[in-house]
Structure 1
């Protein structure tokens, strides 16, 4: 039951001064500013998405504009050509977020002046992250030129026509935060142009993202917009008609349960639909890395759907740590009973899918691509796991809907998600949920339950299901026992925080003897003297495998609650009896984390040596890519060097696995 092998990494140190970052293209140290953040993302996109050769790109390249010299943010030169102004093919201008594209000095007009001054430059891209403009320079027979806004700049070796209406082979996996920028641009444009509330704008964007994903699964791509269709409302109407048809025929027929009957129309103006399509059409959402999609999607979800019931999405590094420690397998049933937008569940699901893919590809003649029959068998194995082993519940119907979308973007498995009160008696769930989600039937649980004193559970019908909802009395010897009345019934507390009840519900869901969970628990449960009965119950019903004290910054800046990640296994009947007699002894892995990868404001922090040098990591990254000749998805390995995030969680996971192997 070994975990998938991690890509090899090489760690070294390098002196990157405080307040600086290493430029992606040159490795020179540049100031770490908001504008630089946008430029670094575009530099990565130029190389990884648009496939330009890094040596043909130069940041801060000086060009002569009239009698003055100006520096363009990134100049892309003709392949292999000397870096001279007359050899510039593409110019990129990046600005800090909030910079207006109509600004006379720093807006799109600045880019036009650089293109005009560079004789052979054909294309330009201007962006502040939240807005993006692509421009083509058109020459006329008289030696003059004009500018035209286009959908996207061509990738290396791609014609402009191919960029404006990409075929399958032209779709590009997203890199860095560029998909986040695109989602944000779309959401802001919908909210600003349509006058919709943020949540309304989000759901309309969701429909179009659904269309994009299902279109990628089709033989013929209909998710596109031409430059002429974007020109005005009349021509844009054809785009909306085409996308609405995709929604009706490909989305509603497959995911009709996600959309209420009254919500089957894309409620956006044709021009708005055309804009959103233009921002997304060049990406392959299916082939983009899971983390890239997850970060982009969950930020948009979080800004729109986070409720008031203690919902705080689990940071992805915490999800990865817990899932690595649990190591879920393809034949094990998995559930998250408080799934939120599905981030924790997707991390665990994809871990098991890696096992499936690794095992299948090992038998392929060509592991990078496979024959039609081999790929079909991989698809069958993946689909069987997703349809039979992946489940999620959440009380918030909006989050369930968003989670289904998240899972569709990340290999699917959305058919096992339901809206339900996980803490309620299963008999109160709808018939399908009660039939599919049974207590005592799960091998693996991942959960970050809602917690907070303002969402206490006081429904007696719910409380009576749980031993942890009883009154408990502390004995003279320090032990705890449930209070039983004269009729032999447990005395119930008036109310109980949901995080305590979720612990017991998770244990109830697990298979006795083998089922195990990873759950985020507020530290008060682990160290508050008044909650000693919770710890007693845990020790009598589970084997605690690991407790990791998470750094306080884990949920900051949204929430300041200090938490631990607890890994445990449900005891079988004999073990439970031994535990209640105090006869069950075993070692427990304990860890404390000082750094969580970000500070209390949410800013990423990087690891440094005692001498103050940055720790740099060179790692091999396996990505999905669209083969240019066949349009098929293939695997490709990239070597990436970057600063090492100061995050103890991967170290904890590795130490736990090493400790676990020593116990066997």
Structure 2
């Protein structure tokens, strides 16, 4: 049974400080420092430069002045002198623009000119990123050309501008988030489109990028000349449009219909977006890095008005660790939204497959062709047969399918529909794939709120919990019936109550289990006692974790609990009705969930009031420089410890569970 990653306390950071990624020195925690720390991580983990060959706050002479470059990169093992500086990087906070008179691009270029052997430079505020190459002008001076990307260690400039498979880089930290945001803002600014329209066009290009990565030859690229020249950019758009038409539209007809086969962007805009994404390997990038980037941009464009608040990733991870879905089990999210909860559970099961297959490889880090083929077969079989999702919002279903493709796929099992409707009214494909009583594991955060009541009589008539309940003097509850013996329905019912009953109907009797976010009112409101009465007679409550009120902040302050339960068998239901069931129950209160009500990250403090540092081992995927294949290796990461008790809750539950008979 998996447990949370082991973390080892290694020190502390005073309030308002951050430990520099390259040196470990304490620096002021500012918006500009946030950008620099992301670039430092990228230089080491994406571009493969050694931390000892990089220096932050590097002093250089510019004329008679002494300045400090935010980051300088040197050749392997070279002395850190101004003459040896190979790459210079200037990082700024988000509101400093490239055209800023003193802190913009001109500042970087002046530094590059002052360093004789500097060849490349990068200027970024996170949302904008510009790269440059310094070239001799043949007259004893220099010119500076804008390029697409700086070269990585051992990489030629040509490879950096048009990467081959071996040159692709898994994203680190928030750098992919910066890239997605940069692309979205560029589309909105240069196309005159609404935010949502810009979002869908960006997703077409992201999809095309992902599918191109599955090919042996990389064709998703744009050259500097294509990005800079509108007439030449037409060739880039045609190349990308052909990829989209042949590799994406044909493969995913349920996502892109015949009316949506064109990338509706100017050639220069296509070329720009492509250059921002072409150096990454989206398939090899860590799930959390992709999830944070994707869900932020989805949330800012598609967040609906039907009680849709996407489950924070740490809450998803906690619930998935506790519910522990296995590769042979059928997995469902009946209100899947953009797929974040489902992807966390899906990848948990895929990790079992990956681990079990690699344990049989001669070289667990790099398998043979036949070993990799068997791993791919098992993964594909699981994703195509055992992963399902339903959501009412067609835009969210489409976004979820794209999210699934970006995170190992499994999009074929996602359906648009009203989960609460009578299953006979679901479309034929959904009915066939997800019959009642067929699911092993459900993970779900259903929409909730009195503003979106279910009042359709045909829908309500399916549910015991939509009926009117009466309590007798002995405290027993019964459904009220009319003179014909039929249940008396309530006029309406909030969807979160009906979702509990529908989810249990979908689970396999006796063995099916689920983790669901449930508003605390259902668990403690006296007026909803009948719901609890029904629930304990149809499910074994495995765990209740009381979540902090800020879990869904900013945006929603509803107090919720993560509830784990198992559907009872028919025999158990009968026993529960007569005598009740007696069993142990895990309960916990999560007082720290890693962020405050404004969404700001909160870090754990030592007894002295300083931010605690932790060291943990992280498995990362890299692209082999010779073969272009994926290679996994373990690295040690030292960082500030987020003040989040949810991983500890999961570990405590698994320990408690192992102690039960």
TM-score range, shorter chain: over 0.9
Shift of 1:228: 1.3
Q: SS of 1:543's equivalent?
A: strand
Within 5 A, what are the aligned runs for 1:67-216?
67-216=64-213
Which residue matches 1:246? Answer: 243
Q: 1:310 aligns with which of 294, 307, 331?
A: 307
Alpha-carbon displacement from aligned partner over 1:608-640 (angstroms, at most 9, x marks no partner): 122223321111111111000111111021111
- Contact 2:453–2:494 (CA<8 Å) still a contact in 1? yes
Q: 1:569 aligns with which of 559, 562, 566?
A: 566
Which residue matches 2:455? Answer: 458
Within 5 A, what are the aligned runs for 1:387-406?
387-406=384-403
The reply to whether residue 351 of structure 1 matches residue 335 of structure 2 is: no
Which residue matches 1:623? Answer: 620
In 2, the alpha carbon distance for the partners of 1:601 and 1:343 equals: 21
In 2, the alpha carbon distance for the partners of 1:469 and 1:630 equals: 59
- Contact 2:4–2:651 (CA<8 Å) still a contact in 1? no
Shift of 1:7: 4.6
- Contact 2:15–2:610 (CA<8 Å) still a contact in 1? no
Alpha-carbon displacement from aligned partner over 1:246-280 (angstroms, at most 9, x marks no partner): 00110011112101321110000000000000000
In 2, the alpha carbon distance for the partners of 1:661 and 1:7 equals: 18
Q: SS of 1:134's equivalent?
A: strand
In 2, the alpha carbon distance for the partners of 1:56 and 1:166 equals: 24
Within 5 A, what are the aligned runs for 1:258-277?
258-277=255-274
- Contact 1:400–1:418 (CA<8 Å) still a contact in 2? yes
Which residue matches 2:659? Answer: 662
Alpha-carbon displacement from aligned partner over 1:536-574 (angstroms, at most 9, x marks no partner): 111000000000000111001111100000000000011
In 2, the alpha carbon distance for the partners of 1:161 and 1:193 equals: 28
Shift of 1:139: 1.0
Which residue matches 1:283? Answer: 280
For normalisation by structure 2, the TM-score amounts to 0.99
In 1, the alpha carbon distance for the partners of 2:546 and 2:65 equals: 58
In 1, the alpha carbon distance for the partners of 2:205 and 2:424 equals: 36
The reply to whether residue 447 of structure 1 matches residue 468 of structure 2 is: no
Q: SS of 2:615's equivalent?
A: strand
- Contact 1:554–1:596 (CA<8 Å) still a contact in 2? yes
Which residue matches 1:297? Answer: 294
Shift of 1:474: 2.1
Shift of 1:401: 0.3
Within 5 A, what are the aligned runs for 1:237-636?
237-636=234-633
What is the RMSD computed on CA atoms of the aligned residues? 0.9
Which residue matches 1:10? Answer: 8
In 2, the alpha carbon distance for the partners of 1:582 and 1:179 equals: 56
Shift of 1:582: 3.0
Shift of 1:6: 5.1
In 2, the alpha carbon distance for the partners of 1:295 and 1:583 equals: 44
In 2, the alpha carbon distance for the partners of 1:352 and 1:524 equals: 32
- Contact 1:151–1:227 (CA<8 Å) still a contact in 2? yes
Within 5 A, what are the aligned runs for 1:35-46?
35-46=32-43
In 2, the alpha carbon distance for the partners of 1:588 and 1:476 equals: 28
In 2, the alpha carbon distance for the partners of 1:124 and 1:163 equals: 13
Deviates more, 1:467-476 or 1:332-341: 467-476
Deviates more, 1:394-403 or 1:76-85: 76-85
In 2, the alpha carbon distance for the partners of 1:626 and 1:78 equals: 22
Q: Which runs of 5+ in 1 are unaligned?
A: none
- Contact 1:420–1:429 (CA<8 Å) still a contact in 2? yes
- Contact 2:249–2:257 (CA<8 Å) still a contact in 1? no
- Contact 2:287–2:407 (CA<8 Å) still a contact in 1? yes
Alpha-carbon displacement from aligned partner over 1:381-412 (angstroms, at most 9, x marks no partner): 00010011000000000000000000000000
Alpha-carbon displacement from aligned partner over 1:211-267 (angstroms, at most 9, x marks no partner): 000000001111001111112110000000000000011001111210132111000
Shift of 1:8: 4.2
Shift of 1:475: 2.2
- Contact 2:537–2:580 (CA<8 Å) still a contact in 1? no
Q: SS of 1:220's equivalent?
A: coil
In 2, the alpha carbon distance for the partners of 1:324 and 1:372 equals: 31
Q: SS of 2:540's equivalent?
A: strand
Which residue matches 1:27? Answer: 24
Q: SS of 1:405's equivalent?
A: helix
- Contact 1:13–1:613 (CA<8 Å) still a contact in 2? no
Deviates more, 1:55-64 or 1:606-615: 606-615
Alignment length, in residue pairs? 661
The reply to whether residue 60 of structure 1 matches residue 57 of structure 2 is: yes
In 1, the alpha carbon distance for the partners of 2:439 and 2:152 equals: 47
In 2, the alpha carbon distance for the partners of 1:369 and 1:582 equals: 57
- Contact 1:446–1:518 (CA<8 Å) still a contact in 2? yes
Q: SS of 1:458's equivalent?
A: coil
Shift of 1:430: 1.1
Q: SS of 2:253's equivalent?
A: helix
In 2, the alpha carbon distance for the partners of 1:242 and 1:621 equals: 37
Shift of 1:11: 2.0
Q: SS of 2:555's equivalent?
A: coil
Q: Which runs of 5+ in 2 are unaligned?
A: none
In 2, the alpha carbon distance for the partners of 1:93 and 1:201 equals: 29
Which residue matches 2:638? Answer: 641
Deviating above 4 A after TM superposition, structure 1's stretches of 4 or more consecutive aligned residues are 5-8
In 1, the alpha carbon distance for the partners of 2:140 and 2:49 equals: 29
In 2, the alpha carbon distance for the partners of 1:466 and 1:86 equals: 76
